[in-house]
Amino acid sequence: MLKSNHIDPELIGANLKTKRIGRKIVVFSCTTSTNDIAAEYAKSKDNDGLVIFADEQTAGRGRAGAKWFSGPAESILCSAVLINCKLTSELLSISCAVAVAEAIGKLDSNYAKIKWPNDIVINGKKIAGILLESRDYDTHRCHIIGIGINCHQKQQSFPPELQTIATSIDTEGNVFCDRVSLAKRLLSSLDCWLAAAEKKSSTVVQRWKRLSSELNRPIRLTFGGAVFNGSCIGIDPEKGLIVQLDTGGIRMFEAAQTTIAK
């Protein structure tokens, strides 16, 4: 089995059977942010499904402007371009989270889980993150799916404040991650679950429920500057997380404006 420490577009594209995602693949050895590069490519409607990979980012970012830490060739760092996507923002978020969790799968004896809205965790530690951004151009609207998966990091690779809450595939799986194989699984999984969402949203919602780390558990979240406590009872493909509040009543929380409190 090839265990490459370099992302090669030909290796990723070889025998990749996807209908949309990964039809075009571009790889940079180093760039500021794959989402920023993807936004440039997204100006052309012909680049629907294009995926940007980078071995290193100098200005990678997560939600709410958080910095994404990754050394050279330590991670999967990529962004996919979707032109005129038919999915609601919530369903797109759900589908991408399911796809990334499925691509990572089982490491040792533990499965990757979804921490709403778009963190992927294993053993309670973050192993991957997703950043969804949208842009409007003169002739079309674009969604960019930014994904970072920790592959080769050791505990000391992370900043001190992240060492107890972040992890990597090498650490959790006790194996050297084959980044090329993982990249191929990721593109196939994205292609599969985005298509499934367009066909029947309930399929993705049911899979999310199986992969959620919060379903039927107490939850504390922030929304609009306020803190809410309750129990997660489900998810709606149009309105977001469904929470039974401790104060009574049921409320839905949109992914883009909500953060799970630590």
What pLDDT, in 10s, does the model give residues 75-99? 999 999 999 999 999 999 999 999 9
**Mean pLDDT in residue range 207-229:** 94
What does the pLDDT average to over 186-204? 97
For residue 4, the model assigns a pLDDT of 42
Residue 262 has pLDDT above 70, yes or no: no
H or E stretch covering 43: none
- Is the pLDDT at 64 greater than 70? The verdict is no
As a whole number, the mean pLDDT across the chain is 92
Averaged pLDDT, 228-244: 96
pLDDT at 65: 61
Q: What is the pLDDT of residue 5?
A: 53
What integer pLDDT is reported at residue 83 of this predicted model?
97
Does 2.30.31.10 match the CATH number of domain 9-210?
no
What is the per-residue pLDDT for 224? 85
pLDDT on residue 259: 86
**pLDDT of 1 strictly over 60:** no
pLDDT at 60: 76
Mean pLDDT of 199-221: 96
Return the SS3 of 182. Answer: helix
* CATH fold for the domain made of 214-260: SH3 type barrels. (2.30.30)
Q: Find the mean pLDDT for residues 136-152.
A: 96
Q: Where are the domains of the chain?
A: 9-210, 214-260
In this prediction the pTM is 0.94
